[in-house]
Structure 1
């Protein structure tokens, strides 16, 4: 039986972030996500304002801090396409700065154009403790449509293989962020 979630606020979905015992891993593949809790900060970013507090991501940072302080690992790999979209520039310059400070291990695979890593799918998922897989589905504008808890063992094994390939091919966010800093005169 498959369990589906139609909201990122779904209680059962969010319980996965409290119940995992060792690792929570995310593969991100989109170049734009349209989520309500980031809209104000994204607008400020586009207006050229400086990075400051990020109230929209505070709850996520609390989740990360709680997990990390309990000895758990939260990590993600985002495949990013250069030149970076406005959203990915925002995510790198603002969102990831906060989540990395909270303890999340954020990593990137940087590609150009259509040079997608052959070993990776073009869809997002969460993998908890290498055994619970949630496929994440978005529309063309990057709005969350649904998540699906998948129980088929072969799909879970495949997600583990993708995770291993993505982590192996990635670089730490902070190593990439250095390149994004404007150079001093």
Structure 2
């Protein structure tokens, strides 16, 4: 059930303070930057348009206006080929535009929020639950009712409390 008259794309421009993302999957390879991912796997350089994607523009516009965009990725080592790509190319690229990344590494511990789905949370009030197929293809998102807000705020707070900043994690475990 939707609780927003806006699309998720509109929320990326219209949020007022912060946009938080929880990532829980090991593979989003069918959801965007497919050509860049294929280049990464083949050992080729980044495509020229990868560094200037629409997402980088969106993030840059938001952060230059004083709004925060940040995310936590829950993952296990060893990293999948896709996660190696996402973290080494994608996260490092998006950081140049001001997006913040954190890693909740569950390699040596239990996942503290195993039932949490992928989602975006805008201004601590609008929840967009992301849907993917088994191959990592984005299928859309559902805006959830406000009655679920406390649960999703708890997911965010738990993830942030146990995650480490990406640069710190990458310096220890990056490939």
Does residue 23 in structure 1 map to residue 18 in structure 2?
Answer: yes
Matches within 5 A, 1:75-154: 75-112=70-107, 115-153=109-147
Scaled by the length of structure 1, what TM-score is found? 0.85
The CA deviation at 1:101 is 1.1
Q: CA 1:181/1:2 → structure 2, altered by over 3 Å: closer, same or farther? A: closer
**What are the superposed Cα offsets for residues 23-56 of structure 1, whole Å, 9 maximum, x if unpaired?**
0000000000034531111111111224464527
Question: C-alpha distance in 2, partners of 1:147/1:95?
Answer: 21
Asked if 1 retains the 8 angstrom alpha-carbon contact of 2:62 and 2:69, the reply is yes
Which secondary structure state, in structure 2, belongs to the residue aligned with residue 103 of structure 1?
coil
Scaled by the length of structure 2, what TM-score is found? 0.90
Does residue 179 in structure 1 map to residue 169 in structure 2?
Answer: no
Match of 1:167 in 2: 160
Matches within 5 A, 1:61-80: 61-80=56-75
Q: What CA RMSD, in Å, does the superposition of the two structures yield over aligned residues? A: 2.2
Q: In terms of mean alpha carbon deviation, does 11-20 or 173-182 score higher? A: 173-182
Asked if 2 retains the 8 angstrom alpha-carbon contact of 1:33 and 1:87, the reply is yes
Match of 2:149 in 1: 156
Q: CA 1:163/1:122 → structure 2, altered by over 3 Å: closer, same or farther? A: closer
Which secondary structure state, in structure 1, belongs to the residue aligned with residue 124 of structure 2?
coil
Question: C-alpha distance in 1, partners of 2:171/2:48?
Answer: 21
Question: C-alpha distance in 1, partners of 2:31/2:132?
Answer: 14
Question: C-alpha distance in 1, partners of 2:112/2:101?
Answer: 21
Matches within 5 A, 1:37-76: 37-51=32-46, 53-55=48-50, 58-76=53-71
Asked if 2 retains the 8 angstrom alpha-carbon contact of 1:28 and 1:124, the reply is yes
Q: In terms of mean alpha carbon deviation, does 98-107 or 33-42 score higher? A: 33-42
**What are the superposed Cα offsets for residues 70-107 of structure 1, whole Å, 9 maximum, x if unpaired?**
11000000011111000000011100011111100111
Q: In terms of mean alpha carbon deviation, does 115-124 or 15-24 score higher? A: 115-124
